[in-house]
Amino acid sequence: MNLNLASLLAAGLIVSAPAFAADVTVDFDGPTSFDSIGEYYNGAVEALGVSFGLDALAIQNDDLGPYFSNSPSPTGIMAVVGQEATMNFATGFTGASFWYASTEFAIVNVYSGLDGTGDLLSAFALVNNATYGCNDSPFCNWNFTSTSFNGVAKSITFASAEGIAGFDNLTITAVPEPTQALLLSLGLAAVLVGARRKA
């Protein structure tokens, strides 16, 4: 492989790198407090492609008292109030992370199918990190956790954290859409053809 071909390939890979992995972050700052997050981030307001079950609620502090403090994004968090607190991302993701505050141990699972179906690909173990006494809220100490896994996930189930945890800045590493992969393949093929002609 000559230097020109190597340079062209490297340039092609650098330009196409975003198609391989794009982070999508949900900060929970937008939805109205105590409303189900639902389709807010799936095109209802923001088009991130992320949807939540009815039991995933947005929480914002109000006059009734602080529900949380010191969260990574200042305005809102997600709280779990039932079994239908699953996050879905239909095009798939290969890694996930979030910040959490919890009053008890809980497990958050990552699945290959939508709505917590398919294979269990990974799990987050939430530890009790609650500290009382800061702004009258147990959710004031936030831990960061992340996971990556083999395969493509489409959902995360938060049901085991019902009533005991808050979540913020949920980030997933999205799988490129088929059109992006096709464009990448065509671009690399063009680079190879161009390099061959120069050789």
Q: Give the angle 13-182-92 at the CA atoms, nearest 5°.
A: 90
Residue 39: inside a domain, yes or no?
A: yes
d(CA 45, CA 96): 22
More confident residue, 132 or 115: 115
Using an 8 Å Cβ cutoff, are 70 and 141 in contact? yes
Is the pLDDT reported for residue 165 higher than 80? yes
10 domain-assigned: no
Per-residue tokens: 96: 């996930």
Domain range for 153 is 21-194
Q: How much is the pLDDT for 93?
A: 97
Is pLDDT at 151 greater than 50 in this prediction? yes
158 domain residue, yes or no: yes
Angle at 21 between CA 110 and CA 100, to 5 degrees: 40
CATH number of the domain enclosing 143: 2.60.120.200
Indicate whether 160 pLDDT > 60. Answer: yes
- Tokens, residue 181: 């992969």
pTM reported for the whole predicted model: 0.79
pLDDT in tens, 178-192: 554 555 555 656 665
pLDDT confidence band for 64 (50 / 70 / 90): confident
Q: In the numeric block, which tokens belong to residue 127? A: 């530890």
**What band does 126 get if pLDDT is binned at 50, 70 and 90?**
very high
**9 located within any domain:** no
Which amino acid, residue 154?
A: K
The pLDDT value given to residue 198: 62
Q: Cβ distance 130 to 112 under 8 Å?
A: no
In a domain, 29, yes or no: yes
Write down the pLDDT at residue 188.
57
CA 9 to chain CA centroid, Å, is 31
The answer to whether 105 and 78 are in contact (CB under 8 A) is no
Give the residue with greater pLDDT, 128 vs 15: 128
What is the per-residue pLDDT across 10-23, written as a single tens digit (0 to 9) for each? 455 444 444 456 89
Residue 100 domain-assigned (yes or no): yes
Percent share of the chain, pLDDT over 90: 64
pLDDT at 92: 96
CA angle 172, 176, 181 (to 5 degrees): 165
For CA atoms 148, 107, 130, 101, give the dihedral sign. positive
Residue 13: inside a domain, yes or no? Answer: no
Per the CB < 8 A criterion, the answer to whether 28 and 48 are in contact is no
Question: For the chain, how many structural domains are there in total?
Answer: 1
Q: Which pair of structure tokens corresponds to residue 57?
A: 């609620």
131 — pLDDT class (breaks 50, 70, 90)? confident
User: Is residue 53 very low, low, confident or very high in pLDDT (cuts 50, 70, 90)?
Assistant: very high
User: Which amino acid does the sequence have at 35?
Assistant: D
16 in any annotated domain: no
Phi-psi region of 186 (alpha: psi -120 to 50; beta: other; left: phi over 0): alpha
